[in-house]
Amino acid sequence: MRIAIVLFDGAEELDWAGPWEVLAAWARMWPDDGVEVYTVADSTEPITCAKGLRVLPDHSWESAPAPDVVVWPGGRGTRAQLGDESVRERVRSLAATGALMTSVCTGSTVYADAGLLDGRPATTYWGSLETLAGLGNDIRVDGESRFVDDGDVITAAGVSAGIDMALHLVRRLHSLERAREVRRYIQYDPEPPV
Amino acid sequence: MRIAIVLFDGAEELDWAGPWEVLAAWARMWPDDGVEVYTVADSTEPITCAKGLRVLPDHSWESAPAPDVVVWPGGRGTRAQLGDESVRERVRSLAATGALMTSVCTGSTVYADAGLLDGRPATTYWGSLETLAGLGNDIRVDGESRFVDDGDVITAAGVSAGIDMALHLVRRLHSLERAREVRRYIQYDPEPPV
């Protein structure tokens, strides 16, 4: 089970770091589950994220092993991806391999722009619900759910929602028990103080 | 207002990435608040985090501007910091400048080892409560709270608790309104699905 977390300039940090923590903790703490998580980008040069964090991707698309699961984060970097034929082709070819396509925040607008969400229910960042509705064809925008699992595509709401979506992924791909163990490992008993 | 987020090999990713998202979003989206957030490490060479993520620090300790707030994450990398006189001196000298010292997860064990938590209430990762109790002198270990604000030192529970602690910081350092705005920005309406 290979899980690719996509990085690009302007990716919102917690969009990918939340799923990274959940999924990489699963992979590292339960090695017998046979999970591998890696980051992938256009090249292995440093990525500058939306709020300025600089990260080194594990792989370029050329060097990356074929993923079984893709996590596409959001962030202002997705704006440049909309309408970009090379990005559309990347998304479509990944989906065509049968990879489970997941997104966080405005990552779903990139999937929508590639036609991946046509006729499907999907969600996105609260501030981008209208943008999502204007992309693709007949996307049933869900502004209430924390994430929407539509089988081979799962879209999450904004930023921190990637943590919830990733725990759902652990449950779906392994078991409720393992997902609870990972939740316990990251002490995810949130108490927003404000 | 300068906020330093400390990085080191073996730092747990979400321990620092959660506060980074909250605090850097505050800094970038409300520039008139005059907040600067940066990462700092022993050098600016790439850091390899606990689950394998590689990050480029913004500053070395030599080049970093003096911080008003310090965020020390946890992770297995903290084990090597316990008993290290250079780390103890770093922690004590930062505290001596009057910086607000905050920690996430086992970052508090590093503070405890430097004597910063003597006679104080403090928390840490659920799996390290006994370790914390065995460090320093008369630390009143709080295994229930999501974070413990003891004035010039704030300690948070494990991993994801850094997000809650950071939102508390925004409230304390600015206002309830701003903290709620940042919470909204990161769509932090958690719904753990398992």
Residues in Cβ contact with B116 at an 8 Å cutoff, skipping those fewer than 6 apart: B91, B92, B95, B101, B136, B153
Q: Flag whether A140 is in a domain.
A: yes
**Which chain B positions have a beta carbon within 8 Å of A126's beta carbon?**
184, 187
Look at residues B151, B147, B149, B172 and name the one whose alpha carbon lies nearest to residue B161.
B147
Regarding pTM above 0.90, the answer is yes
Tokens 């799962």, residue located: A154
Residue segments in chain B with a per-residue pLDDT below the cut of 50: none
> Which residues of chain A lie closer than 8 angstroms to B16, CB-CB?
none
CA–CA gap between residue A85 and residue A54 (Å, rounded): 26
**Within a domain: A193:** no
Q: Within a domain: residue B190? A: no
- What domain count does chain B have? 1
Confirm whether B110 is domain-assigned. Answer: yes
Q: What's the pLDDT tens digit per position in A74-125?
A: 999 999 999 999 999 999 999 999 999 999 999 999 999 999 999 999 999 9
The chain-wide mean pLDDT, for chain A, equals: 98
> Is residue A12 domain-resident?
yes
Does a structural domain hold residue A194?
A: no
Q: Look up the CATH number of the domain holding residue B102.
A: 3.40.50.880
Is the ipTM beyond the 0.95 threshold?
yes
- Given the DSSP bridges, would you call strands A140-141 and A59-60 parallel, antiparallel or unpaired? unpaired
Distance from CA of A99 to the nearest CA of B (A): 23
Q: Provide the H-helix boundaries in B13-63.
A: 13-29
CA atoms within 13 Å, Cβ hemisphere of A110: 34
Closest CA to A118 of A150, A140, A98: A140
pLDDT in tens, A29-53: 999 999 999 999 999 999 999 999 9
Closest Cα in chain A, distance from residue B149 (Å):
12
B164 and A54: CB-CB below 8 Å? no
Report if residue A148 sits inside a domain: yes
- Which pLDDT does position A150 carry in this prediction? 98
Contact A136, A88 (CB under 8 A): no
The whole-angstrom separation of Cα B73 and Cα A150 is: 36
What's the rounded Cα separation, in Å, for the pair B161 and B145? 10
| Domain coverage including residue A137 | 2-185
Length of chain A in residues, anyone?
Answer: 194
Q: Answer yes or no: is B97 within a domain.
A: yes
